[in-house]
Amino acid sequence: MNILSLLLLATQSTSASIADLNLSYIHQGWGHAMRDRSVTDTPLAINGRSFEHGLGTHAISTFRIRLFGQSTRFHAFCGVDDNAKSERASIVFHVIGDGKELWKSPRLSWKQDAVEADVPLAGVKTVNLYVDDAGDGVDYDHADWADAKIEFTGKAPLSVVPPVERAVILTPPPSPKPRINSPSVVGVRPGHPFLYTVPVTGLRPMKVTAHGLPSGLNIDPLTGIVEGTAPKRGTYSVRFTAKNRKGSANRTIRIVSGDEIALTPQMGWNSWYIWLDKVDDKIMRSSADAMVRNGMIQHGYQYVDIDDCWARVPGSKDPVVGGPTRDNNGRMLPSAKFPEMKALTAYIHSKGLRAGIYTSPGKTTCAGYEGAFGHEPIDAETFADWGFDLLKYDWCSYQATAPGDAGYQKPYWLMGSLLKMQKRDIVLNLCQYGMDDVWKWGKQVGGHSWRTAGDLGTGATMYQDGFDLYATKHLERFAHPGAYNDPDYLIFGNLAGPGGKARRTLMTPNEQYSQVSFWSLVAAPLILGGDIITLDAFTLNLLTNDEVIAVDQDALVKAARRVVKSGETEAWARPLEDGGIAVGLFNRAEDEGPVTVTWKDLGIQGRFSVRDLWRQKELGRFKHSFTATVPRHGVVMIKLTRSH
């Protein structure tokens, strides 16, 4: 063969239909990926135009294809399949190459023409064909990548086969000796009810005592529950001691009685991703029991939160959720699934835990239940009267209910002000998916945390987009004591799968370690979205590493910023109250690889000891930089402490 024909051979391109690849590794929100058919097994068709070939999938869908840097082009027609048959279908297609967005469709609805994707792929190693739900949930989101082809010159594209990862428990069990795991500060408003369980690990029985507790507060030494009425304005340094037959531990905690609450991000569990509309009183009680039984309470988890679907559905004839949505005084009525809200919160409080509730500023919530619109004052009062400690305030139906009202801030400002007027502390979690740069005003309107993007969903895998969102918008600037960016819940353990049937998280173990690490570095609320009642040993371990939690709960609340970005690897760092620096070395790529952070990246000089926080192990002393080999989609999380 002469040189010319070799060259010709090398540049000749062949094309592969993506539907002919192995489709079994596609993750999608509903159903199965289909070759040359729609997700509901009908011929592919987008607004009357038929396609013989292509891939039928359903948002949210992720299809990773390995290209080896030898593909030249991706071509497809994208749209909602005609068989979706619903105005509620709306999707956005993305072509992501090595973590960078190469192409994005506009928001596409049912009966809209296909849009053409024609994307150069030169040099790209892995492409992700990603379909999101356009921020309004995945209902009817039948997505077609019609006639989708990849042109390549050498090695043919291959579906990324996620490596089978063993769920390795990295963190040693807590010592039998007492350890007080509380953040160094707890906030409360003067004169309000105070309830705080001092989290302590170690062998039971344990005796927890307090020195310097302000009058009005009492501690139960057997449970470590501190209760009473918050003292007058001021900072009270309380020395807590925990003692068992293995030893004792001390920790000073500042109880700050003032205007600010939630001085560290809230930690807890929320019902949505596992129970959806099935949530009821019994599930909430069992979940509170589980938080105590499995020991999460001793690592700082406190909030047990009901999400949507506890109220009644306007106009419904269903005996469980039907009937008047409010009483004669305009007070919201829970459905038959929640016979007595006051009794439920009293039960949760009796365990030393706090209770959360949910509603929406629109007429109805996202799932179609009664919302707060027009009844905000009485709703705020009712939630306080029922004994709730947190409100998640969604966005659904607000725009439709209040047309012409341009203000994104208005409903939150209203609810924020009303909650502040109640005689108990109620943490306010804004859930409007990051619209109008909510991080810039979330705190001013009375929010303590705000969702920064749409739902991760129960089918979530590696948390990818958030890295760039947090880095490019510099969201670290907006995290303060009492004000946190919220990337959504921890998608672990058993979650509601397609059709509401529980299934395991689709995140690999390394992806889960990355999620907790990222959340802790950016000072996000740590709220488990999976079932707390059936928590397995791996997931429990993942949620209860006290050194990682201490980063999340660090009282300085200097959230991490991205200090290194090199291809698909990156480092995030945050300074800590004790002078240390927490660093996460992340690898978003498909292969294991080294990730380095230099002291220059961190703005430091000199010798530092490095501790592996997940393994709780000293790694040695380093002078200029630190490099770790980080697994696919994994993390190595370290803490640097100056060493002399």
Q: Which residues bind ligand GLA (CB under 6 A)?
A: 137, 272, 307-308, 365-367, 394, 431, 455
Distance CA 352, CA 297 (A): 8
Q: Are 442 and 434 in contact (CB under 8 A)?
A: no
In the complex with ligand GLA, the residue whose CB is nearer, 137 or 459, is 137
In the complex with ligand GLA, the residue whose CB is nearer, 272 or 347, is 272
Please, what is the minimum distance in Å from the beta carbon of residue 447 to ligand GLA? 15
Q: Which of 582, 510, 598 is nearest to 549 (CA)?
A: 582
H-state helical runs in 498-585: 509-521, 537-543, 546-552
Please, what is the minimum distance in Å from the beta carbon of residue 106 to ligand GLA? 22
Q: Which of 592, 504, 503, 490 is nearest to 545 (CA)?
A: 490
| Whether the bond into 348 is cis, omega within 30 of 0 | no
Please, what is the minimum distance in Å from the beta carbon of residue 367 to ligand GLA? 4
Q: Torsion angle, CA of 378/382/384/386, rounded to 10 degrees?
A: 180
The length of the chain is 644
Q: Which of 383, 449, 371 is nearest to 411 (CA)?
A: 371
In the complex with ligand GLA, the residue whose CB is nearer, 137 or 447, is 137
Provide the 10 A C-beta neighbour count for residue 114: 23
Please, what is the minimum distance in Å from the beta carbon of residue 368 to ligand GLA? 8
Q: Are 243 and 270 in contact (CB under 8 A)?
A: no
| Residues involved in catalysis | 394, 455
From the DSSP assignment, how many helices (H) and strands (E) are in the chain?
12, 41
Q: Which residue shows structure tokens 């949530």?
A: 279
For residue 247, the number of C-alpha atoms closer than 13 Å in the C-beta half-sphere is 11
In the complex with ligand GLA, the residue whose CB is nearer, 271 or 294, is 271
* 3-state secondary structure at position 17: strand
Q: Are 451 and 488 in contact (CB under 8 A)?
A: yes
Phi, psi of 67 (to 5 degrees): -115, -10
Provide the 10 A C-beta neighbour count for residue 129: 25
In the complex with ligand GLA, the residue whose CB is nearer, 133 or 281, is 133
Please, what is the minimum distance in Å from the beta carbon of residue 308 to ligand GLA? 3
Please, what is the minimum distance in Å from the beta carbon of residue 359 to ligand GLA? 10
Distance CA 362, CA 371 (A): 6
Provide the 10 A C-beta neighbour count for residue 423: 11
Distance CA 92, CA 86 (A): 16
In the complex with ligand GLA, the residue whose CB is nearer, 93 or 358, is 358
Distance CA 300, CA 525 (A): 12
Q: Which of 75, 68, 74 is nearest to 154 (CA)?
A: 68
Using alpha carbons only, what angle is made at residue 298 by residues 443 and 493, rounded to the nearest 5 degrees? 80
Please, what is the minimum distance in Å from the beta carbon of residue 164 to ligand GLA? 31
Phi, psi of 5 (to 5 degrees): -70, -30
**Cα–chain center distance at 396:** 19
Please, what is the minimum distance in Å from the beta carbon of residue 411 to ligand GLA? 15
In the complex with ligand GLA, the residue whose CB is nearer, 194 or 489, is 489
Contacts of 499 (CB under 8 A, 6+ apart): none
Please, what is the minimum distance in Å from the beta carbon of residue 85 to ligand GLA? 22
| Cα diameter, the chain | 93
In the complex with ligand GLA, the residue whose CB is nearer, 367 or 571, is 367
In the complex with ligand GLA, the residue whose CB is nearer, 219 or 357, is 357
In the complex with ligand GLA, the residue whose CB is nearer, 431 or 490, is 431
Please, what is the minimum distance in Å from the beta carbon of residue 520 to ligand GLA? 20
